[in-house]
Structure 1
Amino acid sequence: MSYIDMTIKDIVGKIGNNEIYLPAIQRKFVWSYEQIEKLFDSIMLGYPIGTFLFWKVEKPKTNDYTFYKFIQEYHERDSLNELAPKPEMKDVIIGVLDGQQRLSSMYLALQGSYAYKKPRARWDNDDAFPKRLLYLNLLRNRQTDDEDSITYEFKFLTSEDAKYIDEKCFWFPIKEALKWKEANDYIKYATEKGYLTNGIFIDILTTLWQRITQNKIINYFEVVADHLDDILDIFIRVNSGGTVLSKSDLLFSTIVANWEKAREEIEDLLKNINSKGDQFNFDNDFIMRTCLVLTDSPVLFKVHNFKKENVLKIKDNWLAINNAIKTTVDIIAEFGFSQENLTSKNAIIPITYYVYKGGNLNDANKNSIRKYLIASLLKLVYGGKGDQVLETIRNVLRKEQYDGSYVLRSNDFPLSKLYSSKLPAEKSLLFTDKDIDELFEYKKSPYTFMVLSLLYPNLKLGQVKFHQDHLHPASSFTAMYLKQNSIPNIKWSAFQDAKDKLANIQLLEGNENESKSKIPLKRWFNSNIVDKANYKSVNFIPNVDLELLNFESFIEERKKLMAKKFVTIQVPNNSEYKKGVQSTPGVRGFHLRSVLREYRITLECRPNALHDGKRVFSQGGDKPSYSTKSNSSLFTAKCA
C-alpha cells in the first residue's frame, strides 16, 4: 500500500472528531514548547516533517485494546492523557504508531493550549503555569531579523503578552487560520487590522494559510493488524530512530498492552510520590526498574524477556509494590531528600526492596538505611553498571527458599554486609582516606548536604527547613572586604576558593540562617550563641580564633573534627552489625586507620572490649578485638 496524504487541518479535525487515538503502548507527550515552535517553523519553510504510521482498527477489535485521547490543554505539571471511552469510539478508528509527538504538538497548537512553568516559580504554585496559545509574529522580516536559526517567529504566549504590538511585532493566534476556508478570509483579516498594504504581514499570513489548510503535508502509511504482538513489533521497529525508546519505555509499552489499568495506576503513583516532601521527579523508568527488582526479575532487562506472565506478576503484586514505593519516598523525604538533592533514583530501589520484603523500619534500621543511601550517592556507585550494582545489592539483601522464592536474609538492614561487599566496577560503599579527603573538596551542593546530614544525625530534616549556611559568610570574601580586614593579597584566591567548600558550611534552620545573613562569624557567635561549648561541639567549631584573618586555621581544624566524626559514622548501629561484622573478614573497611595518623588515635588490641560500659562482642575464641580510644569514646571491631 502506498502512502496517503492529507492537510494539517484535516488531521487535526479527525483528532478532534474522535477518529484518531493513541494506543496504550505510546509514551506520554514529552515535547517542550520550544520543540513545537521549531516544528511550525519547519512547516512554514516547507521542510519535510517525516512520515506517520497509523494502525487501522475496526469493530469489534476496538474493544480489545486500550486507547487514549490526545491532550488538548497541556499542563507541564499536571497533564495526563484521558482514557478514550468505549461508547464514543466509531466503527473504524486510527491508532498512531509513529508520529505521536508531532501530531500532539499540532493539535495543541491549533486546538488547545500549552501551560509551562514561569522561571524561578515554585512547582506547587498553581499560578506559576499560565495558559499560553501559539502565536506567529506577522511582522518579522526574515531577511533582516537574525534570531538564531529560526526563520518564522512562533511563540507560546499568554493573552496579555500577545497584546504587545510595534513596528516589528504583531502576534497572531495560529488556531484562527483553521477558520479560513479561502484566501479572501485572511485578506479580510489583514484589512480589518490595517495591514493590507504591508508585504511582510500578507506574505507570512498567506504562507501560514497555505501550509495549514491547503498543502497536504501529512504523509502516512496505514497498517491493519489483529494481534497485539504484531503491533508491538511494528511499534518497536518504527520507533528505533529519532527519539530512541529506552528499554524501560518498551517494557512500559508491554505492561500497558497486557494490563489495561497500568498507565492510570502508575501515573497516580507518580503523582502521589512526586508531591511528597519538597517534591520529587520520579518517572516511568524508575517505576519499571523498581518493579523488576521487587518481583525478583532480572535487573538487566530486555524487552523480549518480559512476557505476559511477568506483567501479571507485577499486576498481582501491585498493591504491595505501590505501598513499598510510597513508604520509601516518605522515608527519604524524612531524611531531607527531594528532587534537588537525590542525585540517583536507582539508589533508593534497594531500600524499596527491603521495605517490600517486610524489613523492620525501627529507628536503628532507618539510620542504617540513611547511611547506605548517602554513601551510595557520595560514592557514585550507580554511576556506571547500575543494573549490576542493583543485582549485587539485591543479592546481599535476599536469600532463595526451597520453592524458588526470595525472602530477606535478615529483618535488620544489612549495612555491615553492604559495606563489606565488592560492587561491580571495583566500587564500594566504604570511604577510604582518599575518599574522606575528597569530601572536603565539594562546594555547596547536594553532596555537601549529604555529608552534613550524616554529621547532624539528630536534625529533623523532613520537618524543619534547614539551609546550608556559610559559617564565614560569603559576603566576607569580596576583594574589598578582604582588603578592609587586612587579608594579604596572596591569600585572597585561596580564601575565595575555600569559602563555599564543606569545611565552611553548616546546617542552620532557615529563619536562623536569614537572620545570620552577612554577620561575621565571630560577632554572630558571640552575640547569638548562649551555650557556646555545646554549639561548638555540635557544629564542629574548632577552638581557634573565629576572626576572618584566621580563616585558614579555622578550615583545617574543622576538617579534622568533621573527618574524625565521619569515620565513626560508618559504623552500623543496629543489631545486625553485631552479627554481621564478626563474619566479615578484616573490618578494616571501617577505615579506623584513616584517622590514626592525623588525629593520633591510639590503636590497641585487647579482649572483651567495652563501648559506653557495655560489651560489644562476646569473646568466644582467642581472637581479640581491635579498639580505638579517642576523647574517652571507644569503638571496637572484631579482629580478622
Structure 2
Amino acid sequence: MAFQTAITIAEAVKKIQRRELVLPAIQRAFVWNDDQITRLFDSILRGYPIGSFLSWHVRSETSGQFKFYEFMREYHEKDNRYSKELDIPKGQAVVAVLDGQQRLTSLNLALRGYYASRVRYGKKTQAKSYPTRRLHLNVLREAAENERGVKHDFRMMAEPVVHPTDGNAYWFPVYQLFDTTDLGELMGMLASHGLGNNGYASTLVGALFSAIHSKPMLHFYEESDQDIDKVLDIFIRVNSAGTVLSQSDLLLSIATAQWNKRDARKEIQALVETLNGTDQRFWFSKDVVLKSGLMLTGVTDVGFKVRNFNRSNMLRLEERWDEVSDSLTVASGLLGDFGLSSANLTANSVLIPIAYYIHRRGLDEHYRDRPAEREDRAAVRSWAIRSLLKHGVWGSGLDTLLRELREVIDKHGAERFPVVQLEERMTARGKTLTFTPGEVEDLMESWAYGSAGVFPILALLFPHVNTRNVHHIDHVFPRSLLTNAKLKKHGKYTEDQLNEAIWYRDSLANLQLLESPENIAKKDRVPREWAQETFSAASYKNYLELNALPDLPGSVDEYLDWCERRYHLLGQRLAKLLGTTWEAPLQQVP
C-alpha cells in the first residue's frame, strides 16, 4: 500500500467526471444527508482536514473480473438512490475507492449535481415532495449560533434562490466554483449583485475557490494487490471500525460484488421494502433477508461471516433468488395474517424458519387461505407465538438453532409443519417451549396495554379471532372511566383497592381483541350496556365463553371483583394453551 501525492478537491472531482475514480461493488449505497454535506463544506472552508482516502488500483488485466459503479451526481431519494453500474472497457485500468465514498460523493453532488430529499411531511408519492436542491453559501453572514457547531452558512436550496433585500443574505451558488477556473469571473458575479466592494463576501468566495482549486487537501493511500480476498479483508477492516456501517452492509456489498446477472443491492433492498409494505407493517432488515438467503439455499453455516459469503454461495443465492423472495414474501404475509406487525413482533428471526418451511414444501400465496391447510396454519401460528412469548428463544445461539430447525424441517416437514419434532429439538438445545406455572404468572403480570407482547398473548388466548382482519386491543371496561381521579371521586374503593383497580385497568384481565368497526362503535360505554345493545341472549353467552369473560360488569362498583375473576380465567386458559397448569388465588395482584 503506497501513499499518493495529495490532490485538490477539483482534481478528485475531475477524476470522478472522467471515471478514473470509481466505486467497487463492495461499496454500499450513498447514505449521507444534507446536513452531513454542508458540515463537510464548512470543514473545507475552515481549513480543517477531512480525512484520508483509501483506493485500490485495479490493473487492466484484472478490472474485467469485477463490477464497478460510477459516483452519484444527481441524488433523488425517491427515484435515484443508487449509483449506476459502469461498463468498463476491456483492458482499461481503474482506481476504485475503498474508503471515502460518502465524502467524495458529497463533493461530486455539491460541485456538479444536486440533492433531492423528501421535505418534512411531504407525501412519498408526490414529486413536489422532492425539490431539487443545490449547495449555496451565504457570503454576507456567518451561520447563526447553533448546536451544530458550524461557522459558515452552507445550505442545500431549491432554485431559483430568492435573495433578501435587507442585506442579511446573498446565497452564492457553490456549484459554479467547479467549472470556473478564473477567480475574476466569480468576483464579477459578486459585483453584478452589488457586492463588488464587500470585503467579507470577496474574502469568503476567494477562500472557498482556493480550497477547491489550489490546496491539495485529499490524501490517498493506494492498494495495488489484485487479490480480491485481500482487498475485501482491507475493506472490512477499514469500514468495520466505525459504527455506522453495519455488518450486513458489508456482507451485502460482498454479495453485490459476486452476483453475475442481478444487482444484489437493489434486489435485496426491494425485497426488504416488499416485506415491510408501504405502511411499514414490519421492520425486517437486510440482516434478516441475508440470513434467510443462507438458510434457504442450504449454506451449512448461516452465520454472518465473510467466508459464508464466498462466490460459490453467492452465485447459488443469485440462482435461487426468486424462490427465496417468494418464500419470504409468503412467510411475512402469514405473520401478518396472524395479526403480527412491527408494533408487536418481538423477534424478527421467527420469519426465517417459517420461510424455510414454505420453501421446503414449495408453497405459494394460496397456502395463506387454502381451507385444506387451515390446521397446518394453526400449528405454525401457535408455534410462532409461543416462541415469541418464551424468553430467550430468538436470542443467543440463533445460528445453531436455525441450522437445527432446518434439519428437522428437511426430515419431517415435507407434508406438514412438524411442531412436535421442532419442539423436541429446541428442548434439546435449551430452547424449550414448555412453560412453568411461574412463567405463566410472569406473562400475566408483565405484559400490559401498550407492550409489544400483548397482542401475541391475546391472539394465542383467542384463536377464534380472525387476525387477518384489523383488530384493536380493547379495554373491556373503558380506560377513560378508570382514571385515578374518577375512581377517587367514585369513593367506593379503599386506597389498596384503588391501586388494584389502576393496575388491572391495563392488564390482560381488562383486555380483548375487537375488530376495528366494532371497537369504534363500542366507544366508552359500560360493558354490560354495550353488550345488551350488541348481542342477542345466545350470542352474548357465546361471546363470553369465547373470550373467557365472566358476566360483564354494569358499573364501576362491580369492576374490581370482575377483574379478579377474569384474571383467574385467563391465567388458566393461558396455562392450558402453554401445556402447564396454573392456580392463582383470587385477589393476587402486585
TM-score by length of 2: 0.81
What is the rounded CA distance, in whole Å, between the counterparts of 1:127 and 1:535 in structure 2? 50
Q: What displacement does 1:452 show? A: 2.2
Question: In structure 2, what residue type is equivalent to 1:504?
Answer: N
- The equivalent position to 2:566 in structure 1, one of 555, 558, 566, is 558
Equivalent residues in 2 for 1:595-610 (5 A)? 596=583
Does the residue aligned with 1:327 lie in a helix, a strand or coil?
Answer: helix
Q: Where does residue 234 of structure 2 map in the other structure?
A: 234
Alpha carbons of structure 1 residues 192 and 540: separation in structure 2 relative to 1, 3 Å: farther
Q: Where does residue 221 of structure 1 map in the other structure?
A: 221
Q: Assess if the C-alpha contact under 8 Å between 1:389 and 1:424 holds in 2.
A: no
Choose 47-56 or 453-462, whichever is displaced more. 453-462
- The equivalent position to 2:473 in structure 1, one of 444, 465, 468, is 468
Q: What displacement does 1:349 show? A: 0.8
Does the residue aligned with 1:445 lie in a helix, a strand or coil?
Answer: coil
- The equivalent position to 1:547 in structure 2, one of 522, 547, 555, is 555
Q: Assess if the C-alpha contact under 8 Å between 1:135 and 1:172 holds in 2.
A: yes
Q: Assess if the C-alpha contact under 8 Å between 2:139 and 2:204 holds in 1.
A: yes
1:270-301 deviation line (CA, Å, top 9, x unaligned)? 34333377544433322221122221411235
Alpha carbons of structure 1 residues 168 and 459: separation in structure 2 relative to 1, 3 Å: farther
Q: Where does residue 285 of structure 1 map in the other structure?
A: 287
Q: Assess if the C-alpha contact under 8 Å between 1:375 and 1:430 holds in 2.
A: no
Q: Where does residue 367 of structure 1 map in the other structure?
A: 378
1:389 partnered with 2:404: no
Unaligned runs of 5+ in 1: 400-407, 571-589, 600-640
Equivalent residues in 2 for 1:250-329 (5 A)? 250-260=250-260, 261-263=262-264, 264-275=266-277, 279-294=281-296, 295-329=298-332
Higher relative contact order (CA 8 A, sep 6+): 2
Q: Assess if the C-alpha contact under 8 Å between 1:277 and 1:333 holds in 2.
A: no
Q: Where does residue 341 of structure 1 map in the other structure?
A: 344
1:505-545 deviation line (CA, Å, top 9, x unaligned)? 33333344444445555554444455433333344433252
Q: Where does residue 413 of structure 1 map in the other structure?
A: 417
1:437-467 deviation line (CA, Å, top 9, x unaligned)? 33332231332122222234344433x3323
Q: What displacement does 1:368 show? A: 1.6
Does the residue aligned with 1:325 lie in a helix, a strand or coil?
Answer: helix
- The equivalent position to 1:428 in structure 2, one of 428, 432, 436, is 432
Q: Assess if the C-alpha contact under 8 Å between 1:388 and 1:424 holds in 2.
A: no
Q: Assess if the C-alpha contact under 8 Å between 1:542 and 1:554 holds in 2.
A: yes
Question: In structure 2, what residue type is equivalent to 1:393?
Answer: L
Q: Where does residue 442 of structure 1 map in the other structure?
A: 447
What is the rounded CA distance, in whole Å, between the counterparts of 1:421 and 1:57 in structure 2? 49
Does the residue aligned with 1:357 lie in a helix, a strand or coil?
Answer: helix
What is the rounded CA distance, in whole Å, between the counterparts of 1:66 and 1:240 in structure 2? 22
Q: Assess if the C-alpha contact under 8 Å between 1:114 and 1:156 holds in 2.
A: no
What is the rounded CA distance, in whole Å, between the counterparts of 2:197 and 2:562 in structure 1? 74
What is the rounded CA distance, in whole Å, between the counterparts of 2:123 and 2:343 in structure 1? 13
Q: Where does residue 11 of structure 1 map in the other structure?
A: 12
Q: Assess if the C-alpha contact under 8 Å between 2:338 and 2:381 holds in 1.
A: yes
Choose 521-530 or 357-366, whichever is displaced more. 521-530
What is the rounded CA distance, in whole Å, between the counterparts of 1:509 and 1:171 in structure 2? 55
Alpha carbons of structure 1 residues 313 and 545: separation in structure 2 relative to 1, 3 Å: same
Matched pairs, number: 567
Unaligned runs of 5+ in 2: 368-372
Alpha carbons of structure 1 residues 127 and 446: separation in structure 2 relative to 1, 3 Å: farther
What is the rounded CA distance, in whole Å, between the counterparts of 1:141 and 1:277 in structure 2? 42
Does the residue aligned with 1:398 lie in a helix, a strand or coil?
Answer: helix
Q: Assess if the C-alpha contact under 8 Å between 2:464 and 2:546 holds in 1.
A: no
What is the rounded CA distance, in whole Å, between the counterparts of 1:158 and 1:520 in structure 2? 56
Q: Assess if the C-alpha contact under 8 Å between 2:25 and 2:254 holds in 1.
A: no
Q: Where does residue 29 of structure 1 map in the other structure?
A: 30
Alpha carbons of structure 1 residues 520 and 215: separation in structure 2 relative to 1, 3 Å: farther
Q: Assess if the C-alpha contact under 8 Å between 1:139 and 1:170 holds in 2.
A: yes
Q: Assess if the C-alpha contact under 8 Å between 1:544 and 1:553 holds in 2.
A: no
Q: Assess if the C-alpha contact under 8 Å between 2:476 and 2:512 holds in 1.
A: yes
Q: What displacement does 1:351 show? A: 0.9
What is the rounded CA distance, in whole Å, between the counterparts of 2:214 and 2:343 in structure 1? 48
TM-score by length of 1: 0.75
1:393-419 deviation line (CA, Å, top 9, x unaligned)? 3343334xxxxxxxx455321223333
1:105-149 deviation line (CA, Å, top 9, x unaligned)? 333444221414735x7767777655555555556645x724254
The percent of aligned pairs where both chains have the same amino acid is 31
Q: What displacement does 1:350 show? A: 0.9
